[in-house]
Structure 1
């Protein structure tokens, strides 16, 4: 069976709850996988009790009963009286350690895919973790270029820029970067979706995709040359299209297998509004290792109150397991 390495994310947030609830849900649905939780034993056991998870827990490597949940103890948080519902240094340190352990296990073939619970970028900063999120941390850990691919139902959206200030997006919106990141993502999709000729549609940057240069020239100067370069490498690509209509058009008429979005909120506003419970994040990479995550954050306002919906986490786990079988 497929071994899914699942980090609990920031222990102060909803990560432990959605991880355990999602695993419980998938076990009840007879999903063919072996869940391996990576977190702190104290946090995992507290979450099991708080959220009435009936499956037994066992340390990874010990003989486990059927439908039990194995876990790896990171050894950071040693008491169940840890701070919750708030950014803090210890939770930041712990959540990064969970990722590091899980990555080492994936790299050493102790798991087939990786699913990460939501973390707080503020907590990572408090703990002096030098990354803005999982995607760039995994780029450093793997030594490879990574891209963020957001997926919900039939929409797959590449984010050219992710967790950076708007004023810095110009460092990434270049012909060469648009070309290389789109090419990498399309090739990654071919491997895991079976789509041999990925249909790609580009968002414009400016309102109305620039209106032929009357509302900005980035479409003419940057986006169209990148599209032409992709054409020259035999990719099926078109655009740029107005960002306020491309998503609706694609959903209604099945126009694209991949939409290229130029900045974070250009895509995430529509995706989180329409598909919050189904949205997942996939890390694109050249080697084909598998990492997914739910498309939501730590939700400190409802953390540890038994209110979190595990649907997105369950979708992330199912997707990772399916990808690992390709």
Structure 2
């Protein structure tokens, strides 16, 4: 069993800032060995553009890499990447990098995966149906997952993700909410090492339904479910009105917040620390942490992109992978 985690690192969209952020990461020492899955020419071109050294070495011994070097698995592009210009013909390579890196985790070759931003339109225009990396990795692993974003201030998990607002209420059922809470609770316990997780659950409606006057979802679905899980010894707070749940005095009493829909919880998280926020996929057989920003095509190749989110993602994935290794899971 490895004592030091080995992480797969995927740059994402080759025309965006992902490759140069990977180059920035190569200049530092980390608590894990990194293996980058991507196109060699793209990575070297990014390094040249931002004036940073980069050597790509064999993935057989990633611990041999030092500052300025990365272990590398080649996933060649179909056509050369140009900064700021996504190319649909490279969609297969973008998806292939994700699938190959995740496959290495499933095979035990890597202990976690850190992913850069992808360009959804370029992938779909390349003829590959794609809704998101979270969904892709869940399908590959054959498991149900939960999306959670986190920074140094708050962890926010989502009961529903990318749905039109008018579909959210119908998507929240007792079964789906229980699955989400069980995945979240298990991740806080096993991955984050929190022995008795305290989870705040937001109401769907304003004022958490106001005793049924502003909607019955809390009375009919949320409260009975929370009461049942409390009977198992869980520490669940709520349902809480979303407009006051994120007050600093309240957040100190929670280990995570479960929001009912995307824009209920994530604006607060991003306002409180966007640069250091990361996106986690809970429920996979391995830790997956992604940056919480887009491809920033307009910045690609200029050397001005902020690597803070990628660095936070590597640190977070290292910590989670180490916890799993030490627990023998």
**Structure 2 gap segments, 5+ residues each:** 324-329
- Tell me the equivalent position of 1:276: 274
Q: Distance in 1 between matches of 2:251 and 2:148?
A: 21
1:305 aligns with 2:302: yes
* Contact in 1 for aligned 2:146/2:158 (Cα 8 Å): yes
Query: Cα RMSD over matched residues?
Result: 2.0
1:319 aligns with 2:316: yes
Instruction: Please report the TM-score for the alignment, with normalisation by the length of structure 2.
Output: 0.90
Q: Distance in 2 between matches of 1:271 and 1:23?
A: 28
* Contact in 2 for aligned 1:10/1:94 (Cα 8 Å): no
Instruction: For 1:42-81, list aligned pairs within 5 A.
Output: 42-61=41-60, 64=64, 66-67=66-67, 68-77=69-78, 79=80
- Tell me the equivalent position of 1:211: 210
Instruction: For 1:117-266, list aligned pairs within 5 A.
Output: 117-249=116-248, 254-266=252-264
Bigger shift: residues 209-218 or 38-47: 209-218
- Tell me the equivalent position of 1:109: 108
**Structure 1 gap segments, 5+ residues each:** none
Q: Distance in 1 between matches of 2:224 and 2:123?
A: 38
- Tell me the equivalent position of 2:89: 90
Runs of 4+ in 1 over 3 A off after TM superposition: 61-67
- Tell me the equivalent position of 1:20: 23
Q: Distance in 2 between matches of 1:248 and 1:23?
A: 38
Q: Distance in 1 between matches of 2:85 and 2:284?
A: 36
**Structure 1 position 130, deviation (Å):** 2.7
* Contact in 2 for aligned 1:115/1:316 (Cα 8 Å): yes
Cα distance change on mapping 1:34 and 1:202 into 2, 3 Å = same
**Structure 1 position 261, deviation (Å):** 0.5
Match of 1:4 among 7, 13, 17: 7
Cα distance change on mapping 1:59 and 1:223 into 2, 3 Å = same
* Contact in 1 for aligned 2:14/2:86 (Cα 8 Å): no
Instruction: Please report the TM-score for the alignment, with normalisation by the length of structure 1.
Output: 0.91
- 1:44-98 CA deviation, whole Å, 9 max, x = no partner? 111111122224222423785543211111122453xx24324441343322111
